[in-house]
Chains A and B, each alone.
Chain A
Amino acid sequence: MNVLLASAGPSAYWYLTRSTGAVALVLLTFAIALGVIDVRRLSSPRWPRFVVDSLHRNVSLLAMVFLVIHILTSVLDSYAPISLLDAFIPFAGSYRPFWLGLGAVAFDLLLAVTITSLLRQRMGFQTWRAIHWLTYASWPIALLHGLGTGSDVKSAWLLALSIACIAIVIAAVLARVIDGWPANLRLRGAALGGAAAFSLFLLLWLPGGPLGSEWARRSGTPASLLGHSHTTTTADGSRR
């Protein structure tokens, strides 16, 4: 059965899940950037405050839509053994459990943020805001999930995209830190240090990790799936 499937080539779901994952990451990046522009109260006559705020809310919702498609298609795709439960409960799956699990963690956090935002009116402002800050935690986790689980990591365009997104998020965090956020000085140092540490970690880990050899095996791909050609890419990034 597996052999039959393998020789049939990668399914549409497989392409969809990878592309929607990338789009979700880009949208989340823009959501964070717009959120920072929003809270920094930057605006112009052509881009009034309420437009920036609306855009932030809509881009975030759109990101969630793509995220849900990303999850559903990965479950429906029969290539990798991913169940719906793996989307919510981290680290229990059989396909690259740790890296997939990070996706579940990010999704759980974003679910909390989305639900609380839709039900803002029913909770205190301080509570809503505290939960909203989980977005800053969910983004790096989502990125690591993408780098660890994704099969396109070695392709140049995805790497370039990832680096661009990282730069935008770091710029967003810096823009807030410079403005005196968080108010607590120790937390602010932690935010700065966290951003620096994360960047450093990526620099050190990527070459020997997802960009290195045999990452599929090292990241926990089930043995039965190893060695199939469509988990690798050719030098020009085209798919086989």
Chain B
Amino acid sequence: MSGRLRVNPIACEAHGMCAELLPERITLDEWGYPIVDGERLTPELIDHARRAARACPTFALLLEREEEGA
């Protein structure tokens, strides 16, 4: 099971919790909005990514699941 992260830029209100919880894949630009690396997530990062997506107050961070071998 793997996945990729995606931001809904309309819902995003720059709370910045995602970057705190997944600094390996998310950084904030100079205005506080997330720059998300859209590469496939490694197994070690999946749980952190899930937590980051759940922490977003506006549900702007989306974890899109992919089946193995997809």
Q: Are B17 and A50 in contact (CB under 8 A)?
A: yes
Chain A residues with CB under 8 Å of B57's CB are 38, 53
- Complex CA distance for A50 and B57, rounded to whole angstroms: 10
Instruction: Give residues of chain B (5-50) contacting chain A, Cβ–Cβ below 8 Å.
Output: 11, 14-17, 20-21, 32
Known A50-B21, A125-B11: A41·B59 in contact at CB below 8 Å: no
Majority secondary structure of chain A interface residues (helix, strand, loop or mixed):
helix
Instruction: Give residues of chain A (48-64) contacting chain B, Cβ–Cβ below 8 Å.
Output: 48-50, 53-54
Q: Are B20 and A49 in contact (CB under 8 A)?
A: yes
Q: Are A49 and B16 in contact (CB under 8 A)?
A: yes
Contacts between the two chains (Cβ within 8 Å), count: 25
Q: Is the CB of A121 closer than 8 A to any CB of chain B? A: yes
Q: Are B59 and A53 in contact (CB under 8 A)?
A: no
Chain A residues with CB under 8 Å of B55's CB are 50, 53-54
**By CB atoms of chain B within 10 A, which of A48, A49, A120 has the most?**
A49
A119-138 to B contact mask, C-beta < 8 Å, 1/0: 01100010000000000000
How many chain-A residues does the 8 Å CB contact rule pick out?
A: 10
- Complex CA distance for A53 and B18, rounded to whole angstroms: 12
Chain B residues with CB under 8 Å of A121's CB are 59
**By CB atoms of chain B within 10 A, which of A50, A53, A54, A121 has the most?**
A50
- Complex CA distance for A120 and B57, rounded to whole angstroms: 9
- Complex CA distance for A119 and B55, rounded to whole angstroms: 14
Chain B residues with CB under 8 Å of A50's CB are 17, 20-21, 55
A125-158 to B contact mask, C-beta < 8 Å, 1/0: 1000000000000000000000000000000000
What 10 A-B pairs have minimum CB-CB distances, sorted nearest first?
A50-B17, A48-B20, A49-B17, A50-B20, A50-B55, A49-B16, A125-B58, A50-B21, A49-B20, A53-B17
Query: Which residues of B are in contact with A by a Cβ distance under 8 Å?
Result: 11, 14-17, 20-21, 32, 55, 57-59
